[in-house]
A = this chain, B = another copy of it.
Amino acid sequence: MKEICICPRLSKAMDLLGKRWTTLILYQLLEGPQRFNEIESALPISGRLLSERLKELEKEGIVERAVYSEVPVRVEYSLTEKGLALEGAIREVEKWSKIWIN
């Protein structure tokens, strides 16, 4: 996106949040830290895309990745402060969807 016009910050935000699955992944993580497979099971997303999205979100400082060297290995993803700050926005969409969808 070229994000020249309009509000450039919102534009940047939507580059992230407007990507397929991103908001649903964050919504899922609002439940608390979760493992790769837990998220994968909770959403109709494939491992390929989940992996891709989590990397993007980690790079943006929205999600944190923690590896626990157990057997087998456990990897947990959680929201950072920046990620948690999105709760208000996500809840608003949830509210809207409860009223206006279907």
A→B interface (CB under 8 Å): 1-14, 17-24, 27-28, 41-44, 82, 85-86, 88-89, 92-102
Contact = CB atoms under 8 A, between A and B. Distances in A.
B88 A92 contact: yes
Number of copies: 2
Given A18-B19, A18-B23, A44-B2, A9 B86 contact: no
Contacts of A44: 1-5
Contacts of A89: 89, 92-93, 95-96
Interface SS majority for chain A:
helix
Contact of A92 (B3, B7, B92, B99): B92
Contacts of A12: 97, 101-102
